[in-house]
A and B are shown apart, each in its own frame.
Chain A
Amino acid sequence: MEDKRGNKLVEFSLDHPKLVTGLMVLVTLIMAAFAAVPSIWPEKFPSLNSIKIDTDPENMLRKDEPVRVFHDKMKKVMSIHDIVVLGVVNEKNPKGVFNIKSLKNIYELTQYAKKLDGVIEVDLIAPSTVDNIEQGGLGTVKFEWLMPQPPKTEKDAIAVRDKAKRIPFLYGTLVSEDGRAICLYIPIRSKNISYKIYSQLMKKIDTLKGNDKYYITGLPVAEDTFGVEMFRQMAISAPTAMIIIFLLLMYFFRKFALVISPMIVAMVSAIMTMSLLIIMGKTVHIMSSMIPIFIMPIAVLDSIHILSEFFDRYQETKDRRSTAINVMNTLFTPMLYTSLTTAAGFASLALTPIPPVQVFGLFVAFGVMMAWIWTVTFIPASVMFIPPKSLENYGAKAASQEGEEESDHSPLTVLLNRIGQFTYHRAGLIMVVVALLVVIAIYGITKININDNPTKWFTKSHPIRVADFVLNKHFGGTYMAYLLLEPPKQKFYPEKYADELIRETKNLPIAKTVAKKLKEVARSAKTKADFLEQCRKYASEQTDNAPDNLFDAWSSFADLIDAEKQKTEIFKHPKALKYIELLQKELLKTGIVGKSNSVVDIVKTVHRELFLGKQKYFTIPKTPNAVAQCLITFQGGHRPNDLWHFVTPNYRKGNIWVQLKSGDNKDMVAVANTIDKFMKKNPPPFNLQHKWFGLTYINVIWQGKMVTGMLQAFLGSFLVVLLMMTLLFRSAIWGLLSMIPLTVTIGAIYGIIGLVGKDYDMPIAVLSSLSLGLAVDYAIHFLARSRMLYAIHKTWANTAGPVFGEPARAITRNVIVVGVGFLPLVLAPLVPYKTVGIFISSILITAGVGTLLILPAMITLLEKYVFPKTKPCCMVCDFATMAVAIISAVAVVAVNTHQFLAIGWNILVPYSVSIIVVLLIIAFIASRNEQCKWVNENSQTEETQ
């Protein structure tokens, strides 16, 4: 199992410690400089990439992802902006905020918000910026600002509320349904200034007097604020974890000079990776910000094995160099393979369809390999810096107590020794318990709830979470999604259409001229809209220049063209509006949607006010013309353009503004499903098609991608690791064995997630790959060392003891150091960091326990298969191993093909199965080859000794 090249590398490092250290420092400094300098002075180095920070979850999807393209396009078409929601609540006053003082504050705040850079003033919704339409005396309809000035009397203050209550567009949106609170909706030019706007508003709020409470929320604020706090958090939690790991290492190994070196390796690996990330122009995203936190535990993992071995063995020779060589001889191969498998596990994230996750996976993989390089070079080199004198008593206390390894009395050694015996004598019991746990875990997994909500990335006490809770209690909902309706695109036949129009105009005195023109237009027009626009221009010119005797004829032609155009204006048609009305009712029934707004609300309100404000006229008028005339009346107000948030000017697209009380993806999915079902059951007029957009909906899409993407990426990396393990141990059973702790760990953790009801969200999805990386490490170390020791001790009964000596100690120390080191993350105010903290710790503990209990128990039970008396001369002769390798290799290729080339499983499965069958037959024939000799195990091991 030992690697001669490895020896050379280690010996070189031991002989040239200064050179190795200098090289490491130099490379790190150069990389850091290339990343830092252009970030600090971007204008001086325009050709180099500076740090780019991106906190937008939208970027979880590729820029050209259809849902994003549609979202961006519709935002523009419907002039919809990202919104900062600012709620004002007064719990003290029985009339809520509808009192002189509060309304004055709200007025002042509105005036302030209007002036902020990046705020789109014309679309701001506040009492002083929206229109009220009402009766203004007998037979008079009145448009006025809802609150042109702060009211002077308490009666006027209440009037603001009562007026708003009559306007469906405002009630439940601007004024709360309980009539006590007001919400301002502040549209902003770009989502990534929302934290700035948030802070500016907060500052202004501090200057306002009174007992009003102010709450700011909305997805853009949550997302942007998360980004800001994320960096703050990164600066606190990564160093904290490092300090705790350092203290624990000090406790175990006592020698500062030795303990500091793993910390240096971890830091160097993290710095190099992050620098490379910046140098390559990748953005620092929520995901990539976690790269250092992932690299650090993995980087110290291998070093702890070395230190642990060094600590246990130093007293044998009391020579730095020979101890280091000995230690590295034992550990070089397992370390190489653990690093390779971990890197492969993370690199497989490149298979997910989520760009930030791809970047994350590849860069963590890079960091892991960096950590490996510096672990096998710098750690031995660092040993040479320590004067032999100061090492004189290193590990002596432990060594003197044990004398022989078996008679160690330190609590850890005693405990491990007992565990070792337990696994040997109670192997059956352990396996029964494991089987039980697996069943429970499977049950838990079926209970898993896939859900995410960026607002819930904050802890419950965070102002944004509090605001979210309070405002969604008072109002229709602060999460916006938009339901767009439009007719399907129909093929247009210009000639046919021209003939139709020619027939309609044949009685006009200008029929011949018109027919000629129509045919001409038919040749150039591509769409109906284009056709009609050309005709409109022509008709308008002709009418203006018509001689008196033909004026009427040209006018009627112009009228005809105009009427034709209006036929295409679907969303003036009462039938279409009625359907929107039904959809809005259906949305409310879900209980998740608190409120929805559409053109229907405008039409009905105007219609009612035109008819003396009587409630029985709160209806959709009967003809398209009547609808059009209600709308033109509405456009006589202060905010005529509000209409274009709900319909396009050609009335071909209708938009329902949906306010959800919850931003949970599962709730958005439930709403979307309700509408799908409803529309299937109640076919819409004009064959209307529907599509969702808006931030709340986009989050659903990337969540979906994340879940399936992560699952496939995980499957891919699982197979890669299995293949690598099988090849490394040149044995199917060993390959499968090494996957067991990892499988149990993931099963257990997902099972627990399902059982406690924690949502399966982005951080958890990513953590699966971390568990793959860490759990397989322990298994490799355990199995590789077991194999080596078995070669010496010949039976498992004799091997188990030594395995539970120094190798088990190294694993246990690892679990404790890294596991405890990440617990402080639990104190973070951001939920994803808490999740990472809890889960890194639980992954390590589960994987550690799994490795130390399940593996020895299984080896005990399966000894004769695990350590067969005979071994094939080469792997080709071992059919079982070949079979596992073939199946996993083909499966890896299939999973990758599916991801990259988007080939469906229905094609891939039959192909893969047939390829596997063919290869298996070949392997079977090969294994029966006469040259295949099964040799005695002993002669094999002697060879490698």
Chain B
Amino acid sequence: MRTLIYALFISAILVSSVSAGQQKMTAQQIVEKANYVSYYQGKDGRAEVSMVITDSQGRKRHRKFIIIRRDDQPTPEDIKKNPALKKNLDLFCKEQQFYVYFLRPADVAKMVFMVWKHLNKDDDRWLYLPALDLVKRIAATDKRTSFVGSDFFYEDVSGRNINLDKHEIVKITKNYYVLKHTPKDPKTVEFSYYITWIHRQTFIPVRVEYFDKAGKKYREYSALKVDKIQGYDTVTKSQMADLRTGGKTVLSYASVKYNIGLPRKIFTERYLRKPPMKYLRK
């Protein structure tokens, strides 16, 4: 995986000399592009995710789930507003749905976590607990809580709304845009700012460092492996480390597939109890 990232660096070096002449991107533009690369590639997608949570004592917990994602497509009105969409519908970043179906551990198998990601209001989140035969909505006021006990937050899984932070370029290195993001409403988050290292060629955020109110780094995301899948640069292994607890979580994505043609209807409450196995299987 390291070699892959390294390969990316090399290609970036080669390209950067070419792109040096290009017009300069603003922080906002970089963030938008990185956001697209991280969460919106393809009209939809599917992946099988292995999660390994390791605590400071080296004790490991394994979870496995299938995640499917669908993006809302632009309406004619949207296209009228943004003619660039005509050329590439992919660039449309709007509402999304996620459906996470748990396979393991066995005692949480068939558990489902579903998100409707909105841009201008709080997301809708559901949890289906098969052992209690219970569908619960989870209030989305605070998305910076742990995702199923891992070091990732719910917000890391579905993406943080880019309008919640102010963005500025700290520096531009050979390979990276280094950006600093400061929350517009600091009371709603536990960080005072975070720094992302966005790869200049692929726009993949390779590293994200979170700093607490005392200015101390306490949390760190890294992309460990990137693969090209159906033409999309895709992070297939990533890690979140909590520097305060000494724990870390590694996510590995297998059987990644884009543009499957997922129908909107399977992302509804009705399908929580009856998982759409047709789309979940590879």
Contacts and interface: CB of A to CB of B under 8 A. Distances in A.
Is the A/B pair a real complex? yes
Interface of A: 76-77, 79, 111, 115, 121-122, 131, 136-137, 139-145, 148-149, 536, 540, 544, 551, 558-559, 562-563, 565-566, 569, 572, 607, 610-611, 621, 623-630, 632-633, 635-638, 640-641, 643-644, 648-650
Given A77-B57, A122-B245, A626-B132, A145 B107 contact: no
A76 B146 contact: no
A742 B246 CA distance: 59
A635 B255 CA distance: 27
Given A625-B131, A641-B245, A649 B61 contact: yes
A79 B147 CA distance: 21
Interface stretch (B34-42, B133-141, B174-182, B202-210): B133-141
Given A636-B145, A641-B247, A143 B139 contact: yes
Contact of A629 (B108, B141, B255): B108
B94 interface: no
B111 A632 contact: yes
B184 to A, nearest CB: 16
A635 B108 contact: no
A402 B141 CA distance: 98
8 contacts: A143-B142, A610-B134, A624-B107, A625-B130, A632-B149, A633-B136, A636-B138, A636-B148
Contacts of B56: 79
A496 B213 CA distance: 56
B247 A628 contact: no
Given A544-B254, A610-B134, A628 B142 contact: no
B108 A632 contact: yes
A739 B187 CA distance: 76
A814 B179 CA distance: 81
Interface string B207-220: 00000011000000
Contacts of A648: 59
B273 interface: no
A637 B245 contact: no
B57 A76 contact: yes
Given A122-B244, A145-B142, A629 B106 contact: no
Contacts of B254: 544
Interface in B143-165: 144-150, 154
B129 A640 contact: no
B57 A610 contact: no
A569 B149 CA distance: 17
Given A122-B244, A629-B129, A635-B149, A141 B137 contact: yes
Interface in B93-135: 104-109, 111, 127, 129-132, 134-135
Interface of B: 48, 50, 55-57, 59-62, 64, 104-109, 111, 127, 129-132, 134-139, 141-142, 144-150, 154, 187, 213-214, 242, 244-245, 247, 254-255, 282
Contact of B55 (A140, A148, A637, A649): A649
A636 B147 contact: yes
A645 B24 CA distance: 51
Contact of A136 (B105, B135, B139): B139
Which 5 pairs of residues, A with B, have the shortest CB-CB distance?
Answer: A635-B149, A136-B139, A142-B139, A628-B107, A625-B131
B124 to A, nearest CB: 10
Contacts of A626: 129, 131-132
Given A121-B244, A144-B139, A632-B148, 13 more contacts: A122-B244, A137-B139, A142-B141, A144-B142, A558-B104, A559-B109, A562-B106, A610-B136, A624-B107, A629-B111, A635-B149, A636-B127, A636-B146
Nearest to B56: A79
Centre residue among B56, B108, B147 by max chain A CB count within 10 A: B108
B129 A633 contact: yes
A572 B107 contact: yes
B149 A640 contact: yes
A566 B106 contact: yes
Nearest to B244: A122
B146 A638 contact: yes
Contacts of B138: 140-143, 636
Contacts of A142: 138-139, 141
Contacts of A624: 107
Contacts of A139: 135-137
Contact of A115 (B64, B127, B214): B214
A625 B214 CA distance: 41
A625 B107 contact: yes
